[in-house]
Amino acid sequence: MHDNYFVPVISGERSTKGGRPLATPAPAGTVQPTSHDAGRDQLDYADLLGQFDQPGACVARLDASLLVQQANQEFFRQFGGSSADVCGRGFCDLTHPSLRHPLRHQFARLVDGSRRRFATHVVAVSAEGAAFTSALTAVAVRGETSRVASILVVMRSADGFEDADVVTQHKKVITEIEARILEGIAAGISTIPLASRLYLSRQGVEYHVTRLLRKLRVPNRAALVSRAYSMGVLEVGSWPPRVVRDFVK
């Protein structure tokens, strides 16, 4: 078995010497987890490990910096084909650019101890550049101290189908000025203030809005904003609205 293939263990991570675990001294001021906390952590961890061998489950272990350390064969197949292509990469880099900021925020709460686990839906991008929706569950795994030693993630396909409407980072769909106009419309700015902000005429703004409506194949501005979010062109969880830079020509 390759060193980077995921090998499930129930206990927290430890160094060993002579077959005996080496306890890492807790830094001064560190709060030790209670037996209740440790029990809940172990139950969460064991629950996810129960999905390890289930068909279609992508399982990976991340370090506290969210870099992939180990994964099962399904994870490698989905995201690169080999451990060399995947291990060492940031986990959030395997997801759609529009979701990375809110996803990093949720992981940060695991690392700082604010949460033990979270579950959400993400749009991931496969090695071939195809976007697909997955149900993601992540659990913090503690070491000898209260610090998070690693994070176990399990991804399962939400519907079994690729999201054909989601634009991946390989496609540039709008120009710089169109991006600024789309952000303004999503923020609720009307034509005249938007024209003043972007040093355009009213007719100039309307021209670019019409181009955006045609590109995204929608009938009006409200549908334009909804479509942009559903395609991943507008960043989720950002205010004021912001276009993901990967999609700007």
For the record, the structure tokens of 27 come out as 């830094």
- Annotate 110-154 with DSSP letters as a single string: HHTTS-SEEEEEEEEE-TTS-EEEEEEEEEEEE-SSSSEEEEEEE
For the record, the structure tokens of 161 come out as 């189908």
- For residue 8, whether the previous peptide bond is cis, meaning omega lies within 30 degrees of 0, is no
CATH code of the region 176-247: 1.10.10.10
Q: Find the DSSP H helices in the chain.
A: 35-49, 73-79, 83-86, 100-111, 176-186, 191-198, 202-216, 221-231
Query: Strand, coil or helix: what is 173?
Result: coil
In the chain, residues under CATH classification 3.30.450.20 are 32-162
CA distances from 117 to 128, 155, 212 (A): 30, 14, 40
The helix (H) or strand (E) run that includes residue 156 is strand 148-162
Q: Helices 202-216 and 176-186 sit at what angle, rounded to 10 degrees?
A: 90
End-to-end CA distance of the chain: 44
In the chain, residues under CATH classification 1.10.10.10 are 176-247
Strands 15-17 and 148-162: unpaired
For the record, the structure tokens of 8 come out as 């499930």
Which architecture, in CATH terms, is 32-162?
2-Layer Sandwich (3.30)
For the record, the structure tokens of 30 come out as 């560190």
- 0.85 cut: is pTM over it? no
pLDDT per residue, tens digit, the chain (249 aa), is 445 554 444 333 333 333 333 233 333 333 334 444 444 545 455 555 555 556 678 888 999 999 999 888 888 888 877 778 888 999 998 988 878 888 988 899 989 888 888 888 888 888 777 778 888 889 888 877 778 888 999 888 765 444 445 554 546 788 999 999 999 999 999 999 999 999 999 999 999 999 999 988 889 999 888 888 877 788 876 788 888 887 888
